[in-house]
Amino acid sequence: MTIQPTNQTAPPSKHELALMIWIAVFPTLTVLNLLLGGLLENLPMVLRTLVLATIAVPIVIYGIMPHLHRARRAILARR
């Protein structure tokens, strides 16, 4: 039995994943704060955080992280 090589890359290390998450989360929260800061300014901090996290998490997980994973794979494939 022969094993066929695959084009799959190894999953990101903890450090790579942490960097990817930071790259996705920081700008997302910054933009959301710029867009919604005025609307949320009168809410208690915990409620503001809940609203921002509820909006930011799906954006990061479904919108940004897949692109970052593809970019990582493309970078690793060039090596």
Do residues 64 and 24 lie in contact, with contact meaning Cβ atoms separated by under 8 Å? yes
Reading the block at residue 73, the tokens are: 């794979």
pTM for the whole structure: 0.82
**Per-residue pLDDT for the chain (79 aa), expressed as one digit of tens each?**
555 545 688 999 999 999 999 999 999 999 999 999 999 999 999 999 999 999 999 999 999 999 999 999 999 999 8
